[in-house]
């Protein structure tokens, strides 16, 4: 199906998408004018607006067949009220209940018409989008068609599959990370290209090496020598790296950065086989600087408080002292972190409990979220821009983000003051739109 | 191309680990983020709308680009700035971003149900989580454990980021009272109650929920004897649970037959809570006894439901014979069916009989008929 | 004429599905049989591994059968076709077909 649903600024339609164009459209949306417009015109506009968001990928005829005028709603019951009154009180008097002195809290209206597009929320592609597994309903649809989605453990290739209550759907975590993660930067794209080229070269080399299996025995000696060479160069490189890192770490001048990068490149050249080893050296730079920064911020927080308590005359001195202290601890921590990253034994005796905790967390974090240029998204993974403005999970889904699986618990319902169907439109749009579909014109 | 919006990204790489809910830490910029074109002098042709959009994204919209861990970051609502913004859509006041279960609460539910063998109903009342949700959580956590054991890839950084952006219900710490996640006693609105009915009742007669249900389903009013036997509408819930004969009455004949609408006390998911409140009203002093009695009631209801489930399961097991031939690639499952006058019907075309039907046109390719699977067996 | 217990193909292209029918031997495959005593789905279903404790469960095929009717028709001399014979053997209603006979006919 061709995607006609672009996020154009001129039309200003709101879509099921996380793009910044859509965000801007959402921000500047104003409900359509009603004055000097016929009722038909109002309904037409409302329908067009609502359908651009709700199930834009569904043909109009298909949606009309899905539409149901029956709207599911629930009333949360208060058991105390049920116990107090068997119903005779509310029906007493002239049928409208006995008037009591204190009136109970005013009952909120049930926004029925906001549920007009509830049947579309059953669709698999929409549910994937609602579970925050894809950045747009179109992308969710593509995931389904490309076979990255299972329903109840079986591959489901129909985006229009209507989920039944209790269905468990699961998306390939890699796709989810791709859909929700920040895209690669230019630098990362280059790295990926290089990685690919290297892999190809290796494959070619291996292909060439295969026919020469007979000559392998003769070459064994030379390979052994090569191994020794590799070890030597590695050792040299590591010592070089240590000298680089032993110097001031928090502020890296440009030249140092270059050196470091050159070092990483060479290490990669040596350890060309395993991508995992380069991962560690790569992430060192970015993650560790953050670690120290965060630690400093943590340390800096309590310092001014103490200053206020003791003497207000010399706060600057104390702060300076605290700062120097944090610098010291930062140095210690940096050493430990380097050691850990390089696979050496870490001497944790010098670190305080808190620092040790920080170190441990940083290392686990590095294991969970490594730099890996073979991935299609920017690594270490961080959420894409403007994701947070669209991040909500409706109650009719129960989602486990770790495995990118979700259960469709029940159909969305309306309750007093709340409608569970996520919609950017208020009742000024949803009511005429519902009215449009109530009347059968087909 | 317009100049890229260059605000600093919250790197949720490390910070969330270090300070889970404090926003005091200054976000540090990603080093790789600064590389994009800063010195490009050529200005791409832009429409007015695009210019306006990027102007907005650079000023007001810049705050929406990255999130602050532990806070929602939705479009600001022009009407109220002070409260925490839970409305992702500023024009829709009827939709709010409701909280999700935190990781700890999810694991707590799993341990209580699976490890401590508590019943779903009891856990639901303790933690204020719907019973369906509890069942789903147990399934999902189990699946996660299996995938971890199998070494399948997980989306851990993604999960952490989502839990930072979306409001979550935390697990109460020791000594704290657990905040309820959601209302657990939701009464679905029955379609029969949609009608507006004028039903005159003498003022001297007490007209209860039981009577209202009968009116809605067009059933004759209760006889006096039976009415007097019902002290409170929640008695009917007991009858339904015990499958007392006549607890669920039918009205209408043939295809029109339908159940008489029961009062809300019998249709809510936790009818025992009404009984507990009744106890509380009747005996305000005996707190411990009330709690004990409620526990007993839950246990009894669980017992009954469990035995019913087991019976159904056993019946299903009995009706299907598993045969596993040696050396073959497949297993076979034999299900018992019945070919008789009752199942085939008078003309032999009833759908209750086994097999595809003869002499009935196949409607499966008609317009408007669903051609894709409608259910997937788990 | 002989009464046979045999399979009648239903389902669409590439998705076979069979009725297990009792019919006169010379009647057409799609003709209305004497009785439909069951169904046989030859497309194996794969265990989803979502809930099954056994990780190496084999794929399975589903058969529905009215055992009492099958026993009755066998008792009055209905002859199962070879595929049905295999199914009925698994259901425990007939003895396995003698090996020599099978070999001769392979």
Task: Give me the DSSP letters along A372-419.
Answer: -TTSSS-SS--BPTT-GGG----TTEEEETTTTEEEE-S---EETTEE
Closest CA to A97 of B187, B203, B219, B277: B203
State how far the Cα of B91 lies from the Cα of A428, in Å rounded to an integer: 9
Please give the Cα distance from A291 to C68 (Å, whole number).
Answer: 75
Domain limits, chain A: 20-75+109-180+391-438, 186-308+318-368
Q: State the DSSP string of A4-50.
A: -----TTT----SB--HHHHHHHHT--PPP-TT--HHHHHHHHHHHH
**CA gap A178, A139 in Å, rounded:** 11
Pairing of β A414-415 and β C35-45: unpaired
> Distance (Å) from the C-alpha of residue C1 to the closest C-alpha of chain B?
23
Domain segments of chain C as ranges? 3-105
Mark yes or no for CB contact A160/B372 under 8 Å. Answer: yes
Pairing of strands C60-65, B331-336: parallel
* B155 three-class SS: coil
Sheet with A167-171: list strands edge to edge. Answer: A154-155, A149-151, A167-171, A405-408, A397-400
Phi, psi dihedral angles at B265 (to 5 degrees): -60, -30
On whether any CB of chain C is under 8 Å from the CB of A400, the answer is no
Cα–Cα distance list, B141 to A21, B114, B121, B135 (Å): 37, 10, 18, 10
Copy the structure tokens of residue B123: 């856990």
Task: List CB contacts (< 8 A) between A303 and chain B.
Answer: none
* Closest residue, chain A, to C48 (C-alpha): A153
Instruction: Say whether residue B335 is in contact with chain C using an 8 A CB cutoff.
Output: yes
Taking contacts as CB-CB distances below 8 angstroms, the residues of chain B near A84 are 277, 281
With left for phi above 0 and alpha for psi between -120 and 50, is residue B319 left, alpha or beta? alpha
d(CA B240, CA B234): 10
- What gap in Å lies between CA B13 and CA B303, rounded to an integer? 48
Residues B87 and B75: their CA atoms lie apart, in Å, by 8
Quick one: A20-75+109-180+391-438 is in which CATH superfamily? Answer: RNA-binding S4 domain (3.10.290.10)
Pairs of residues, one from chain A and one from chain C, whose beta carbons lie less than 8 Å apart: 8
Tell me the H-state helices in A161-253: 173-180, 186-209, 216-246
* Chains touching A (3+ CB pairs < 8 Å): B, C
- Smallest CA–CA distance, residue A188 to chain B, in Å, is 8
Q: Which residues of chain C have pLDDT under 50?
A: none
pLDDT in tens, chain A (442 residues): 666 667 788 888 999 999 999 999 999 999 999 999 999 999 999 999 999 999 999 999 999 999 999 999 999 999 998 998 888 887 777 666 666 656 666 778 999 999 999 999 999 999 999 999 999 999 999 999 999 999 998 899 999 999 999 999 999 999 999 999 999 999 889 988 998 899 899 888 877 765 555 444 444 444 444 444 444 555 555 555 444 444 444 444 454 555 555 545 544 444 433 333 333 334 444 555 555 555 555 444 443 333 333 333 333 444 444 444 444 555 666 666 666 555 555 555 566 667 767 777 777 777 778 888 889 999 889 999 999 999 999 999 999 999 999 999 999 999 999 999 999 999 999 999 999 999 876 5
| Tokens (6 digits) for B293 | 């009695």
Cβ-based neighbour number of residue B329 at 10 Å:
8
Residue A181: DSSP 8-state: B
Q: Is C11 strand, coil or helix?
A: strand
Min distance C25 CA to chain B CA atoms (Å): 18
CB C36 within 8 A of CB B353: yes
Residue with tokens 């009827």: B94
- Select from A77, A108, A158, A293 the residue whose CB has the most chain B CBs within 10 Å, as the one to mutate to test that interface: A77
Between chains, do B186 and A76 touch, taking CB under 8 Å as contact? yes
Adjacent-strand bridge partners of C8: C19
- A419: which strand partners? A414
A326-365 residues touching C, CB cutoff 8 A? none
**Distance from the C80 Cα atom to the nearest Cα atom in chain A, whole angstroms:** 35
Q: Which residue of A11, A15, A87 is the best one to mutate when testing the B interface, meaning the one whose CB has the most B CBs within 10 A?
A: A87
Say how many CA atoms lie within 13 Å of B104 toward its Cβ.
7
B345 to chain C, any CB pair closer than 8 A? The answer is no
The CA–CA distances, whole Å, from A237 to A233, A250, A265, A282 equal 6, 22, 11, 14
From CA A47, how far away is CA A28, in angstroms rounded? 19
- Residue B326: name the closest of C58, A343, A276 by CA: C58
User: CB distance C20–B321 less than 8 Å?
Assistant: no
Cβ burial B97-127 (10 Å sphere, 16+ → b, else e): bbbbbbbebbebbbebbeeeebbbbbbbbeb
The pLDDT value recorded for residue B13 is 40
Quick one: pLDDT at residue A435?
Answer: 94
Residue of chain C whose Cα is closest to the Cα of A169: C50
Burial of C83 (0-12, 13-18, 19+ CB in 10 A): middle
Option in C32, C44, C57 nearest B358 (CB) = C32
Closest CA to A337 of A245, A272, A273, A217: A245
Rounded Cα distance between B133 and B124, Å, is 9
**Which DSSP category does C58 fall into?**
P
Whole-number Å distance between alpha carbons of C6 and A431 = 59
For C18, phi then psi, to 5°, come to -120, 140
C-beta separation of B48 from A28 below 8 A = no
Pick from C58, C37, C40, C36: nearest CA to C49: C58
For B262-307, how does the pLDDT look when each residue is reduced to its tens digit (9 = 90+)? 999 999 999 999 999 999 999 998 899 999 999 999 999 999 999 9
Token couple for A423: 């919609």
The strand pairing partners of C38, in sequence order, are: C20, C65
Q: Report the residue of chain B nearest C61, measured CA to CA.
A: B332
- Name chain A contacts of C48, Cβ cutoff 8 Å: 152-154
Q: How far apart are CA A237 and CA A219, in angstroms?
A: 27
- Residues in chain B with pLDDT values less than 70: 1-45, 80-83
What 3-state class would DSSP assign to B154? Answer: coil
Interface of C with B in 30-89 (CB under 8 A): 32-33, 35-39, 44, 48, 50-51, 57-67, 69, 87
In three-state secondary structure terms, B37 is coil
Per CB-CB distance under 8 Å, the chain B contacts of A385 are: 5, 9, 65-66
DSSP output for A65-116: HH--S---BEEEPPHHHHHH--STTTT-TTTT----SSPPPPPPPP-GGGGT
Inter-chain contact A398–B88, Cβ cutoff 8 Å? no
Pairing of strands B100-101, B168-169: parallel
d(CA B150, CA B144): 10
Contact residues, chain C to chain A, C-beta under 8 Å: 46, 48-50
**Residues of B with Cβ-Cβ distance to A362 under 8 angstroms:** 14, 17
- What distance in Å separates the CA atoms of residue A298 and residue A305, rounded to the nearest whole number? 13
> For residue C11, what is the nearest residue in chain B, using CA coordinates?
B356
Output the pLDDT for position A91: 77
A373, A191 Cβ separation under 8 angstroms: yes
The SS3 assignment for A155 reads strand
Residue A140: name the closest of A117, A169, A119 by CA. A169
Query: Are residues B155 and A422, on separate chains, in Cβ contact within 8 Å?
Result: no
Q: What is the pLDDT of residue B29?
A: 39
Beta pairing class for C60-65 and C35-45:
antiparallel
Spatial distance between the Cα atoms of B353 and C19, rounded to a whole number of angstroms: 11
Lookup result for tokens 């919006």: B5
* B115 DSSP assignment: I
Contact A403 B144 (CB under 8 A): yes
CATH 3.30.1320.10, applies to C3-105? yes
């Amino acid at each position: 199906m061709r995607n006609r649903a672009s996020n154009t600024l001129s039309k200003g339609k709101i879509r099921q998408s996380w793009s910044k164009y859509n965000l801007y459209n959402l921000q500047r949306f104003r409900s359509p004018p009603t004055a000097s417009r016929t009722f038909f015109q109002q309904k037409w506009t409302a329908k067009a607006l609502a359908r651009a968001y709700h199930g834009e990928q569904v043909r109009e005829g298909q949606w009309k067949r899905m539409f149901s005028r029956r709207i599911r709603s629930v009333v949360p019951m208060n058991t105390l009220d049920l116990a107090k009154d068997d119903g005779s009180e509310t029906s007493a008097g002239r049928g409208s209940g006995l008037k009591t002195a204190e009136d109970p809290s005013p009952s909120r209206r049930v926004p029925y018409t906001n549920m007009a597009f509830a049947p579309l929320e059953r669709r698999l592609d929409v549910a994937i989008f609602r579970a925050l597994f894809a950045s747009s309903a179109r992308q969710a649809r593509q995931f389904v068609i490309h076979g990255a989605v299972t329903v109840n453990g079986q591959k489901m290739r129909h985006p229009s599959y209507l989920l039944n209550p209790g269905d468990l759907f699961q998306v390939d975590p890699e796709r989810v990370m791709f859909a929700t993660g920040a895209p690669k930067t230019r630098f990362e794209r280059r790295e990926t290209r290089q990685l690919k080229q290297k892999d190809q070269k290796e494959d070619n080399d291996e292909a060439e090496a295969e026919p020469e299996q007979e000559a392998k025995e003769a070459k064994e000696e030379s390979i052994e020598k090569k191994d020794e060479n590799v070890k030597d160069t590695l050792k040299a490189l590591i010592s070089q790296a240590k000298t680089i890192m032993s110097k001031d770490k928090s502020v890296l001048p440009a030249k140092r950065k270059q050196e470091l990068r050159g070092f990483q490149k060479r290490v990669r050249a040596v350890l060309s086989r395993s991508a995992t080893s380069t991962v560690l050296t790569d992430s060192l730079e970015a993650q560790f600087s953050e670690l120290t920064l965060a630690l400093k911020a943590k340390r800096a927080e309590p310092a001014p408080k103490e200053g206020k308590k003791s003497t207000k005359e010399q706060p600057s001195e104390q702060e300076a002292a605290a700062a120097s202290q944090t610098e010291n601890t930062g140095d210690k921590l940096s050493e430990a972190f380097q050691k850990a990253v390089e696979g050496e034994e870490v001497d944790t005796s010098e670190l305080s409990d808190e620092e040790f905790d920080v170190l441990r967390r940083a290392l686990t974090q590095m294991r969970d979220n490594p730099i890996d240029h073979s991935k299609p998204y920017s690594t270490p993974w961080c959420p894409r821009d403007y994701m947070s403005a669209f991040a909500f999970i409706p109650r009719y889904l129960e989602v486990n983000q770790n495995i990118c699986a979700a259960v469709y618990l029940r159909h969305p319902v309306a309750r007093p003051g709340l409608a569970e169907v996520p919609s950017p439109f208020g009742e000024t749009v949803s009511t005429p739109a519902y009215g449009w579909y109530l009347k059968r014109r087909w | 191309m317009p100049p890229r919006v260059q605000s600093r990204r919250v790197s949720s790489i490390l910070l969330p680990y270090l300070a889970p809910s404090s926003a005091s830490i200054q976000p540090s910029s990603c080093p790789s983020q600064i590389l994009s074109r800063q010195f490009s002098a050529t200005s791409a042709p832009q429409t007015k709308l695009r210019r306006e959009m990027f102007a907005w994204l650079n000023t007001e919209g810049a705050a929406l680009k990255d999130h602050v861990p532990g806070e929602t970051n939705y479009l600001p609502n022009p009407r109220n700035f002070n409260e925490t913004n839970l409305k992702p859509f500023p024009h829709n006041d009827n939709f709010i971003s409701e909280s999700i279960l935190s990781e700890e609460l999810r694991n707590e539910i799993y341990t209580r149900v699976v490890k401590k063998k508590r019943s779903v109903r009891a856990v639901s009342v303790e933690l204020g989580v719907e019973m369906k949700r509890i069942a789903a959580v147990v399934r999902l956590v189990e699946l996660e454990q299996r995938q971890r054991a199998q070494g399948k890839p997980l989306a851990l950084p993604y999960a952490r980021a989502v839990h930072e952006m979306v409001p979550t219900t935390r697990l109460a710490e020791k000594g704290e009272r657990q905040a309820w996640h959601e209302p657990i006693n939701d009464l679905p609105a029955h379609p029969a109650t949609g009608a507006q009915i004028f039903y005159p009742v003498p003022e001297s007669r007490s007209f209860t929920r039981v009577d209202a249900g009968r009116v809605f389903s067009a059933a004759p009013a209760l006889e006096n004897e039976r009415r007097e036997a019902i002290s409170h509408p929640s008695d009917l819930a007991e009858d339904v649970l015990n499958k007392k004969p006549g607890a669920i009455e039918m009205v209408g004949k043939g295809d029109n037959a339908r159940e008489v609408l029961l009062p809300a006390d019998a249709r809510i998911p936790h009818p025992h809570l009404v009984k507990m409140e009744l106890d509380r009203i009747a005996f305000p002093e005996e707190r411990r006894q009330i709690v004990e009695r409620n526990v007993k009631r839950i246990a009894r209801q669980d017992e009954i439901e469990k035995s019913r489930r087991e019976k159904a399961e056993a019946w299903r097991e009995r009706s299907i014979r598993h045969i596993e031939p040696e050396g073959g690639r497949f297993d076979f499952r034999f299900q018992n069916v019945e070919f008789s006058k009752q199942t085939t019907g008078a003309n032999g075309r009833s759908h209750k009989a086994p097999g595809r039907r003869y002499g009935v046109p196949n409607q499966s390719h008609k317009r408007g008929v669903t051609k894709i699977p409608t259910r997937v067996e788990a | 004429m002989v009464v046979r217990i045999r399979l009648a193909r239903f389902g669409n292209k590439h998705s076979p599905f069979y009725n297990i029918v009792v019919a006169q031997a010379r009647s057409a495959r799609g003709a209305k049989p004497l009785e439909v005593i069951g169904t046989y789905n030859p497309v194996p279903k794969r265990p989803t591994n979502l809930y099954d404790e056994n990780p190496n469960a084999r794929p399975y095929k589903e058969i529905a059968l009215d055992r009492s009717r099958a026993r009755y028709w066998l008792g009055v001399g209905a002859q199962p076709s070879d595929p049905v014979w295999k199914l009925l053997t698994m259901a425990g209603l007939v003895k396995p077909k003698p090996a020599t006979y099978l070999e001769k006919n392979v």
